[in-house]
Amino acid sequence: MNTLIEFDVSTLSLADAFTACRAEPGTENVEVTTEVWERMAAVARPKALYTAVDLDWRGEQLFINRREFDSVLLKRNLAGLSTAYPFVATCGIEADAVLQACTDPLEQFYADTLCRFLLMAVSLAMSAEIFQKFNGSKPMPQMNPGSLPEWPLTAQADLFALLGGQDTVIKQIDVKLSESFLMIPVKSRSGLYFPGKHDYTNCMMCDKKDCPNRQAEYDPTARDEIMEMDKM
């Protein structure tokens, strides 16, 4: 059964929006941020959806809900585990509608930033609940379809299936997949938390430079080390 999180935007302040947008007092940025945030905060309903799934190991094959997952990296990370936690989180179609309605480039920029801010807020609330409920409040590593070639974006369909399929995800949090497996609204994220035995992050295996979302330094040896670990 899925767990739905509906984030209360009233817990966020205009000052939080200023921080997210790096709006400095006395600048045009403050005025534009204020205008966009007031429109967005009035309607925004960021949401997240997660569940717990049993891992069915059949030799070297991994099945979840009778669906085979053949990513070697995913299997290495999940080796020896019996449960994982798929999720989808989103800024929400309401905030996205505010973004889509912006015609001024500066407004578009700040609306996009604020949608990302809302996505981060609901994601943090979701992860805290997952960690508390399933891992004694200790953080868990995650993998995300499309972050690395070893688990490509096409795996979004498999991940959505673990949450009941695209129709269920649309019904519960209004997130759908495009034909190219991108999520709509764009400011959405999906992944799989797992109680890891090592400090894994996707960033360790990604050599993309100047990434604003980088959480760990690129380690050119990480891929080989993980792929050799816990071979079945």
119: domain CATH number? 3.40.109.40
pLDDT of 208 higher than 80: no
Domain count along the chain: 1
Q: Which of these ranges, 23-27, 71-75, 93-97, 174-178, has the smallest mean pLDDT?
A: 23-27
Q: Are 99 and 112 in contact (CB under 8 A)?
A: yes
Q: 144-200, pLDDT tens digit by residue?
A: 999 888 899 999 999 999 999 999 999 999 999 999 999 999 999 999 999 976 677
Q: What's the whole-model pTM score? A: 0.90
Residue 129: exposure state from Cβ atoms within 10 A (0-12, 13-18, ≥19): middle
Pick from 42, 47, 39, 45: which is nearest to 98 by CA?
39
**180 — alpha (psi -120 to 50), left (phi > 0) or beta?**
alpha
Residue 210 pLDDT level (bands cut at 50, 70, 90)? confident
Beta strand segments in 73-178, E: 83-90, 142-143, 176-177
Q: Residue 183: give the domain boundaries.
A: 3-228
Let me know the angle formed at the C-alpha of 46 by 86 and 174, rounded to the nearest 5 degrees.
Answer: 70
